[in-house]
Structure 1
Amino acid sequence: MYKVETVENGVQATKVIEGLNREGYEKDDIYIFAHDKERSKDLTEGTHTESVGMGEQGVFDSLGNTFKKRGDELRSKMSSLGLTDAEADRYEEELDKGKVVVVGSKD
């Protein structure tokens, strides 16, 4: 089960995260995506949420992302959280516009 929200900035992302917490998502069930790696890292650290790693993607996909373009890497990570390829494509387009994507994903 997952829920996805697109926002403009960190303040809005924080509000979405608070809403997801009220709905039962824990901090380690919530992931923030931004097209710029540093922005993504800063938002993840600032909101104490998770980053997609080997646990979500598996070793081969995680290592494969090292050689992918950023858009391909982001789509791969979103897909590993349960989004369909079409959804990952759509949200990656939003990231291209400078937006932030917040994903709550739990089993």
Structure 2
Amino acid sequence: MAANTKAYAKVVENGVQAVEAVKELRNTGYSYEDVYVLAHSTDRTDKIAETADAKEIGRKEEGMFDSLANLFRSRGDELRAKIQSMGFTEAEADFYEKELDQGKILVIANKLT
């Protein structure tokens, strides 16, 4: 992966901050297709993604194998796999997953195409 395509991530405290972070990313040139949100619970992720008009990390980003494997993983393992699928290292995914465990939200910008 080229250095200029490295994913950007920001940890925020709540949904309001997530919406603001998504707006900031859009103002700097990221499109809807490039901005993702992730929270510890899937319901919270759904609500924040809808409110912020951002995407969720899904089969397209993860690939079929990881998407299927997530059906059998703990939520923590699933979150780490989703974060890694966005271009982050295992250590970065561990760090971000711990933040999500504490109720925070992860906003990611990544031009995957």
Would you call these one fold, judging by a TM-score over 0.5?
yes
Percent identity, aligned pairs only, is: 45
The residue that corresponds to 1:106 in the other structure is 111
Equivalent residues in 2 for 1:71-86, closer than 5 Å? 71-86=76-91
Equivalent residues in 2 for 1:1-107, closer than 5 Å? 1-107=6-112
* Equivalent pairs, count: 107
What runs of 5+ residues in structure 1 fail to find an aligned partner?
A: none
Q: What is the TM-score when the length of structure 2 is the normalising length?
A: 0.90
Across the aligned residues of Structure 1 and Structure 2, the Cα RMSD in angstroms comes to 1.0
2:19/2:51 contact within 8 Å kept:
no
Aligned-residue offset at 1:26: 0.8
Q: Which runs of 4+ in 1 moved over 2 A?
A: none
What runs of 5+ residues in structure 2 fail to find an aligned partner?
A: 1-5
2:10 counterpart SS class: strand
1:24 counterpart SS class: coil
2:96 counterpart SS class: helix
Deviations 1:44-85 (A, max 9, x none): 111121111121111111011011110100110010010111
Which whole-Å CA distance do the structure 1 matches of 2:56 and 2:33 have between them? 9
